[in-house]
Amino acid sequence: MRFSLNLVNIVPYMGNEYDEQIQDIDPRLDLAWEIIGLLAQRKIEFEVVDWYTGTFLEIDVPDELLRTYGYFDEPDAKEKEAGKVRPLTEFLGVK
């Protein structure tokens, strides 16, 4: 008996060491679909890794692909300055 899991149910939620998920990089999920396509074509390396917190499926997403979605773009000075200040509504938890 075979069991399966649709990759669209897990790939967008896969996280990196910075607690960023693939869906955080591209909420439209175009990046997730590209990764799924590359996995299906066996063009992305993946492995199962045992760690003290559990057993994980790790995929190696090419930097070039992440770059096309702006992942490695450096924020400009204005964006850096804006990131230093949190709005009071966010601090208070008001939406």
Query: 18 near 26, Cβ under 8 Å?
Result: no
Using a cut of 0.75, tell me whether the model's pTM lies above it.
Answer: no
Other C-beta atoms closer than 10 Å to the C-beta of 31 total 21
**Residue 36 phi, psi dihedral angles, 5° rounding:** -60, -40
Which residues of the chain form beta strands (DSSP E)?
A: 46-51, 54-59
For residue 61, is pLDDT > 60? yes
Q: How confident is the model at residue 18 (pLDDT cuts 50, 70, 90)?
A: confident
How far CA 53 is from CA of 9, 49, 60, 73, 90, in Å, comes to 22, 11, 20, 31, 32
